[in-house]
Amino acid sequence: MQTVKDTVNSVTESVQQATSGASKEANKNVAKDSDASLSTRATAAKDAVGDKADESKHDAKSEAYSQKAQS
């Protein structure tokens, strides 16, 4: 039963990782957009950094759950 939970948690974390990655890329594009205001670009850059941290966190959690499920 725990293996099933760990597998589900691993998949959930992988989905959240992908979502954070997509958000990071979108924010990077806004930060590079010369038509956007400076404050919009700065906020997008800050958000991209936060998304990268979230992406890394979800990747680590997914890997940990995956390893635990295989044990």
**pLDDT, tens digit (0-9, with 9 covering 90-100), for 17-50:** 999 999 999 999 999 999 999 999 999 999 999 9
Q: Give the per-residue pLDDT at 49.
A: 98
* Mean pLDDT (whole number) for 3-24: 96
Give the model's pLDDT for residue 20: 98
Contact predicate 58/14, CB 8 Å:
yes
Task: Kindly list the domain boundaries of the chain, sorted by start residue.
Answer: 2-70
Residue 18 near residue 59, CB atoms below 8 Å:
no
For the chain, what percent of residues have pLDDT higher than 70? 100
The band of 71, judged by pLDDT with boundaries at 50, 70 and 90, is: confident
Helix residue ranges per DSSP H, the chain: 2-32, 38-70
